[in-house]
Amino acid sequence: MSMTDVLGAEDIKKAVEAFTAAESFDYKKFFEMVGLKNKSQEEVQKVFRIIDKDRSGFIEEEELKFILKGFLPSSRDLSDKETKALMAVGDKDGDGKIGMD
């Protein structure tokens, strides 16, 4: 399964292009631009599984660093600062990983 099975290719491209500059990543804006806000829980879970490269059921910091590549392989990696900021928002229980819930 690929992202374009769930999200529009043009939406993904525009969202990734909006955050090409280092330190520009805004997760709320990005997820809105790719269309995740309008997707069902099942569709969001499909996207989660694509990002969860090691199939652990969690997204760890190392996978999060490459989150944009999960949407568009040619995109940039997040900086350490961006990765840590995104982890802090998604890691609700402080265990260093983001669960599907």
pLDDT tens digits, 17-68 = 999 999 999 999 999 999 998 999 999 999 999 999 999 999 999 999 999 9
- Tell whether residue 101 is among the known ligand binding residues: no
pLDDT of 1 strictly over 90:
no
- Tell whether residue 63 is among the known ligand binding residues: yes
- Tell whether residue 93 is among the known ligand binding residues: yes
Domains of the chain, CATH where assigned: 3-98 (1.10.238.10)
- Tell whether residue 95 is among the known ligand binding residues: yes
Which 3-state string (H, E, C) describes the chain? CCHHHCCCHHHHHHHHHHCCCCCCCCHHHHHHHCCHHHCCHHHHHHHHHHHCCCCCCEEEHHHHHCHHHHHCCCCCCCCHHHHHHHHHHHCCCCCCEEECC
Tell me if the pTM is above 0.75. yes
- Tell whether residue 80 is among the known ligand binding residues: no
- Tell whether residue 26 is among the known ligand binding residues: no
- Tell whether residue 11 is among the known ligand binding residues: no
